[in-house]
Structure 1
C-alpha cells in the first residue's frame, strides 16, 4: 500500500433536489488503498455520491471525511482528488504530454519537475511512446489511459472514476479492466469507481456498494455479495438468479423445508435469514449451481421439467427449463462436453444441494 493512500468515510450523506431525494442517508467507509465501486442502475444515486465526494455537489446533510477529518466544506480544488470521466475530457489541441502536464502547470510546478512527473505517469500507463501525439491520433483505450495518467500525475489523495470504461467496446473494456486493476495495485492509492456494469464491479473491486433509489442496499466484498445477497434486488442486479417461492413447512437449526406446489425444497439458512414455519420464503438460486441429473442420479433438491428455450454462449449453454411447481428455471452448463445436446421440448431433471440457494428478502416492490 502507498504511504499516501487515504481512508474515506461517508456519514449519513444525503442530497435532496426539492422534494426529490437523490441520496438518502448513505454511510460507508473505504479503507486506505482499497478499490470501492459504487454500483447501481440509472438514478440510483451513485454519480451524485461521487460528485459529492469530489466537492462538485454540496450535500443537503451528512459529512465526507478523509482520514477522519471533515472535508465537506472544502471546494474541489482544495480536496486534491484526481478524477477520470466517462468521456476522457482531454484537450484536443494539446499533445498527450501537455494534457498530462496540465494539472502540474495549474499547481505551479517548474518545467523540470513537470517533465519528470509526466514521464513517470506516462510510463505507468505504458504510453511514453505517445507523448507527442494528439488525442485524436489515439484509440479510445489509449485516450482513457492518458486520462488516468493526468489524474494520477499530481499524486492525488484519492482517484475518482466516473464510469471510465463505459465508452469502450466489450473486448477493449475487458482489457482495460485488467490494466486498471493492475494500475491500482502498482500505485496503491484509494480508488472510488462508479459503474452500472456488474462484471466490472466484480472483477475490479475490493468492496462494492450496491445502491438503489438513493439508498445503500448492501456493502461488501464482491464474493460475499454474490454468494450471500440479502435481498432480491442485490441477487438480481449482481449477476443472474432464479427466484423460488414457497411456504416454510419447517424451520430448524439445520435450515428449512419449503413447499412450492407438490415440490419440497431443502434449504440451509443462517439464523438471521431463517423465516419461521408458516411464513413465505424466497430463495435465490444461481443458474450455475444447478446440475442436470443423469438417470438414477439424486440430489437434495430435484425437479423435473422440459427445455422451453436455450442459447449457445460460446463457453456454455443457457437453458430455460419450464417446471410445474417452480416456473421457469434458468440453468447454465459448460458447452465443452455438455451432458446433453440441448433441444426445445427435451425432458430434463434438475438437482441442487441444500446450500446452493440462499434465502433473500423480497424487496421487489
Structure 2
C-alpha cells in the first residue's frame, strides 16, 4: 500500500437535533493532516453522532463539514472516500479474509488483478497474509479487528474513521492492539478520527483529544495538556481521577481550605472562591520529617491493590477524604486500615478548574 499525507478535516458550527432533543450542538473542530484525533466522552455525549456526521451517514441540522477546505456537508458517504471501522467489525461471515478485504474494491469495480495486489498489500500491513483463506469465525477477536482495518484501508481512503474499534476485546489484547494501531497510523500517515469512551485508550493513542459532554466539545488538546491542565471539573473527573478541594484564594498563591492554607503555582485571583483539582498520583506519603509545599495528616480508611499501585482513601480533618495512588513496588509503607500517614504535594500539583457540575440547592 502507498503511504500518503493525511487530509485536513474541519467542522464549523456542526449540530444535530432530533425533534426536541439536541444530540450535538455548535461543534467547531479542526483535524490536521495526518493527525490522530480521538472524540472522547461518556455515553450520550454525542461523539458517535459526530462521527456519523463526518462519515456522511447522518445529516447535520446545522453547520458545515470541510475536507481540505472544500465543503462536503451534502456529499453522500460513498462519495467521501472515507474508510470506516465499526465497533463489531461488520465482517461478512461467509467470505474469506481476502474476500472481505477485497469487498470495497469489488464495489468500486476495480480489475481483479489490481484487487489481488491491493488485498495482499493491505493484509501485509496488518500482518495477516497467512490468514487470507480463513473465514472470520476461525479468527480471534484481535485478528478480526485487523481484517476490519485492512478492509477500511485497502482502497486508499482519504480519512480513516474508527467507532470504538477495540471495545470488544479484553484488556490485555486491547492494550496490545492500541500499540499496533498507533504504529500503523505512523506508518501510513493518514488522518485518523477515533471514537471511544475509554480514557486510557484515548490518552495512549491520540495526538489530540476532543472531550464531549452533552453534545458539546468542552475541551480539546494533547493528552498531556488535558490531563495536566483540565479547565473544568468534568474534564478533570472524566479524564482520570481527581480530588476536588474547594476554598478561597488569598494573596501570594495561597488557597484557604478550612483552616488549612494550601500553596498553588497556578494563577489565582485573591478573594475569589476556587475549586482545585489534585490528581491522586501527585500526592506522596511523607516520612515523619519529610517536607513538601503542602502537608496534611490523615488515617487510611480503605485501600486496594492493583498490581502496579496501591489506591488509598485517607480521611483528613482539614480536607475530608483524599484518594492517593502510590507505586506498589518498593513502597515506603504497607497500607492498612487505621494507618496514620502524612501526605504531601507540591504547589504545582493542583490546578484551578471551573465548577461546571454545581448541584442545585
TM-score, normalization by structure 1 = 0.96
Residue number in structure 2 paired with 1:78: 79
Question: What's the secondary structure of 1:168's corresponding residue?
Answer: coil
Structure 1 residue 359: Cα displacement:
0.5
Instruction: Report what 2:162 is aligned to.
Output: 161
Match in the other structure for 1:329: 322
Which residue pairs with 2:302 in the alignment? 309
What do residues 263-312 of structure 1 show as CA deviations (whole Å, max 9, x unaligned)? 11011113xxx2x3222111111111111111111211011100010011
Give the root-mean-square deviation of aligned CA atoms: 1.0
SS in 2 for 1:171: helix
Are 1:348 and 2:348 matched, yes or no? Answer: no
Aligned equivalents of 1:341 and 1:196: distance in 2?
34
Corresponding residue of 2:63: 62
Separation in structure 2 between the aligned mates of residue 164 and residue 133 of structure 1, nearest angstrom = 21
Match of 2:181 in 1: 180
What are the ranges of 5 or more consecutive residues in structure 2 without an aligned counterpart?
none
Counterpart of 1:198 in structure 2 is: 199
Whole-Å separation in 2 of the counterparts to 1:344 and 1:262: 26
What's the counterpart of residue 89 of structure 1? 90
1:305-350 deviation per Cα after TM superposition (whole angstroms, max 9, x unaligned): 0001001111111111000121111111111110101110111010
- State how far apart, in whole Å, the 1-side matches of 2:36 and 2:311 are: 32
- Distance in 1 separating the partners of 2:140 and 2:79: 33
Does 1:230 find its partner at 2:231? Answer: yes
Match status 1:7 vs 2:8: yes
How far did residue 249 of structure 1 move?
A: 2.4
SS state of the match for residue 87, structure 1? coil
Cα distance in 2 between the residues matched to 1:125 and 1:302: 51
Matches within 5 A, 1:111-190: 111-190=112-191
- Matches of 1:206 and 1:341, distance apart in 2: 38
- The whole-number CA distance in structure 2 between the counterparts of 1:240 and 1:46 is 21
Q: TM-score, normalised by structure 2?
A: 0.97
Return the alpha-carbon distance in structure 1 between the equivalents of residues 259 and 145 of structure 2: 55
Q: Deviations over 1:38-86 (max 9, x none)?
A: 0000000000000000000000000000000000000000001000000
The residue number in structure 1 matching 2:273 is 280
What whole-Å deviation, never above 9, does each CA across 1:148-200 have from its counterpart, x for those lacking one? 00000000000000000001111111111011001101111000000000000
Q: Is the 8 A contact 2:276 2:353 kept in 1?
A: yes
User: 1:261 corresponds to which residue?
Assistant: 258
Alpha-carbon distance between aligned partners in 1 of 2:78 and 2:334, rounded to the nearest angstrom:
61
Indicate the SS of the match to 2:355: coil
1:107 equivalent in structure 2 = 108
C-alpha distance in 1, partners of 2:75/2:257?
Answer: 56
Cα deviation, residue 4, structure 1: 4.1
Long gaps (5+) in structure 1: none
> Which position in structure 1 is the counterpart of 2:21?
20
Q: 1:86 aligns to what SS in structure 2?
A: coil
Residue 357 (1) aligns with residue 350 (2) = yes
SS in 1 for 2:84: strand
Q: How many residues of Structure 1 are paired with residues of Structure 2 in the alignment?
A: 357
Question: Hey, what does 2:36 align to over in structure 1?
Answer: 35
In 1, are the aligned partners of 2:4 and 2:188 still within 8 Å (CA)? Answer: no
Tell me if the contact between 1:2 and 1:33 (Cα under 8 Å) persists in the aligned partners: no
